[in-house]
């Protein structure tokens, strides 16, 4: 029987110092044990310094193709660059529309992600796992690039952002969102099957708000009480100041709510009472090897 565990992963580590500080607060006073590093973020160097000072934090790579600047010269990877800005396309919707036209060259994706990986490895840190900004790594073809790079660079684990959609949650007001989540679920499960072929570890379940409001204290409580078999990854985007971070990220998200949810004393105590181990991806890999 698999031990019941959670991996609370903080995305966008390195994007802003207020995100970096929230990650460490969640590590010291809450359930965060894992983060994924955005190597092209404005606070990348600060995040690296914090990660090196907190070895108990498992740090993976947050591979990025949208909403930011590339590691390479944009002229070297033109098929994944928005010609209007010279940066990545602004979000997953814009990128997927461009991707579906057949104009994205996988060789450009590979070169850019390899450059991001090399920037990560130059810090001396070793990635515990890989995921991607706005889940672009599960797209057809792009998943093959991600898995090949994981194998080549000995990255032992991968996020599978699979959240099933139930009819009880579906309403006219959120129909478009639910259709998007259904598509992501299908692609994520295909990614899980491919990852097995590379002997790359994946958690057994995934939680977090793919689209919509933040994960709050009650949501964390319900996740803990559900006690999924095996290991569940909980994706978060914590931060210390909503006003500053919303303006910086151009995203109406409550970073403070998600930090409060995983530093809430009641949730930390509930996790202990239920015997649920807070892990990072390094712990997951070690547990799988032991079995």
Structural domain spans, the chain: 5-290
The token pair that represents 123 in the structure block: 């810090």
Per-residue pLDDT at 165 exceeds 90: no
Per DSSP, what are the bridge partners of residue 201? 157
pLDDT above 70 coverage of the chain, percent? 92
163-178: average pLDDT: 52
Rounded distance between C-alpha atoms, residue 201 and residue 194, angstroms: 11
Per-residue pLDDT at 118 exceeds 90: yes
The pLDDT of residue 1:
54
pLDDT tens digit sequence for 52-62: 999 999 999 99
Q: β-strands 5-13, 231-236: how paired?
A: parallel
Rounded distance between C-alpha atoms, residue 38 and residue 53, angstroms: 18
Count, residues in the chain: 291
pLDDT tens digit sequence for 171-200: 444 444 555 567 788 999 999 999 999 999
**What is this structure's pTM?**
0.93
Q: Is the domain covering 5-290 a CATH 3.30.70.20 domain?
A: no
pLDDT tens digit sequence for 57-90: 999 999 999 999 999 999 999 999 999 999 999 9
Rounded distance between C-alpha atoms, residue 158 and residue 61, angstroms: 10
The token pair that represents 66 in the structure block: 């949208």
């Amino acid at each position: 029987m698999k031990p019941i565990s959670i991996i609370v992963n903080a995305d966008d580590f390195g994007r802003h110092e207020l995100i970096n500080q929230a990650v460490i607060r969640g590590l010291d006073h809450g359930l965060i044990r894992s983060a994924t590093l955005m190597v092209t973020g404005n606070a990348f160097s600060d995040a690296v310094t914090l990660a090196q000072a907190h070895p108990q934090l498992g740090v993976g790579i947050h591979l990025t193709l949208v909403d930011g600047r590339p590691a390479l010269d944009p002229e070297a990877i033109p098929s994944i660059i928005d010609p209007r800005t010279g940066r990545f396309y602004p979000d997953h919707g814009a990128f997927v529309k461009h991707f579906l036209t057949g104009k994205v060259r996988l060789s450009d994706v590979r070169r850019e992600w390899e450059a991001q990986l090399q920037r990560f490895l130059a810090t001396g840190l070793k990635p515990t796992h890989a995921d991607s900004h706005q889940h672009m790594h599960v797209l057809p073809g792009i998943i093959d690039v991600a898995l090949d790079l994981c194998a080549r660079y000995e990255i032992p684990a991968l996020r599978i952002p699979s959240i099933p959609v139930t009819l009880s949650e579906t309403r006219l007001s959120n129909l478009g969102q639910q259709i998007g989540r259904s598509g992501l679920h299908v692609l994520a499960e295909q990614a899980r099957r491919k990852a097995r072929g590379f002997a790359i570890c994946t958690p057994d379940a995934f939680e977090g708000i793919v689209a919509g409001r933040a994960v709050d204290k009650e949501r964390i409580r319900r996740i803990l009480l559900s006690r999924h078999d095996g290991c569940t990854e909980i994706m978060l985007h914590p931060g210390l100041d909503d006003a500053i971070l919303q303006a910086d990220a151009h995203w109406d998200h409550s970073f403070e709510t998600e930090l409060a949810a995983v530093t809430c004393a009641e949730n930390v105590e509930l996790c202990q009472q239920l015997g649920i181990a807070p892990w990072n991806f390094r712990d997951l890999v070690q547990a799988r090897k032991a079995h």
